[in-house]
Amino acid sequence: MLAIQTHLLNRSVCRLLVSVSKKMSKPQIVFVLGGPGAGKGTQCSKIVETFGYTHLSAGDLLRAERKNPSSKVGTLIERCIKEGKIVPVKITCGLLKTAIFANKNTKFLIDGFPRNKDNLDGWDEEMGDKVDVQFILYLDCPEEVCTKRILNRGLTSGRTDDNVESLKKRFQTYVNETLPIIKHYEKDGKVRSVVTDCTPDEVFERVRKHFS
């Protein structure tokens, strides 16, 4: 009797271990979303230091690709960035996929993605069965605070979109295209929100609770 019970227990433990190890072997993703200036990059650096994630910024990957002289899509990327428009997902998802699978880490923060329905659909199609999306960290900040931060950053960032003209367009894109994506994930209970209109350290005290 005891032998049968032990055998059954061993089998269930084995099954549990297989299912846990299968889940663990897929890259674990946290998407970080929020308006321009909400603090995505700043908070991602702190999460990396404390929780050992690898940070991938969709915007940074696109800017690096734009600089690459052999890239065929550099001009398209530059036009989109200046106009605050979203680059077609094939390009962005391709860059993210390459970066994820070139890295040994299994935990990734993807900042600034998915930014619209094209991003979301393209990601689901290409990556849906290859990774697990743990949750969406939504950094929620009033537009006036974001504007001040970005215009201040524009004094030194050298970015072609940290100016009043581009910023207006970036906010429009954010409200019209990105907020609906956050709502979409909210329906699945996947969004963890943090209000970010205070100092980076104060924000991080709120953020860290979602990772502990």
User: Is there binding between residue 31 and ligand C5P (CB under 6 A)?
Assistant: no
Q: How far apart are CA 147 and CA 144, in angstroms?
A: 5
* Per-residue burial over 92-101, b = 16 or more CB atoms within 10 Å of its CB, e = otherwise: bbbbbeebbe
Q: How far apart are CA 188 and CA 177, in angstroms?
A: 18
- Tell me the closest approach of the beta carbon of residue 59 to ligand C5P, in angstroms: 2
DSSP, res 27: P
Tell me which of 81, 99, 133, 194 binds ligand C5P, using CB under 6 A: 81
Only one of the segments 16-24, 68-76, 78-86, 199-207 lies at the binding site for ligand C5P (rule: CB under 6 A); that segment is: 78-86
Mark residue 158 as left, alpha or beta (left: phi above 0; alpha: psi -120 to 50; beta: remaining).
left
- Residues in the annotated binding site: 37-42, 63, 85-87, 112-115, 119, 153, 159, 170, 198
From the list ligand C5P, Mg ion, none, pick the one residue 92 interacts with, judged by a Cβ distance below 5 to 8 Å according to partner type. ligand C5P
User: Is there binding between residue 41 and Mg ion (CB under 5 A)?
Assistant: yes
Element (H, E) at 135: strand 132-140
Only one of the segments 3-11, 21-29, 111-119, 191-199 lies at the binding site for ligand C5P (rule: CB under 6 A); that segment is: 111-119
- Residues in the annotated binding site for a ribonucleoside 5'-phosphate: 63, 85-87, 112-115, 159, 170
Q: How far apart are CA 48 and CA 77, in angstroms?
A: 27
Q: How far apart are CA 46 and CA 23, in angstroms?
A: 26
User: Is there binding between residue 167 and ligand C5P (CB under 6 A)?
Assistant: no
Give me the residues that bind Mg ion (CB under 5 A), please. Answer: 41
Give me the residues that bind ligand C5P (CB under 6 A), please. Answer: 36, 57-59, 62, 80-81, 84-87, 92, 112-113, 115, 119, 161, 170
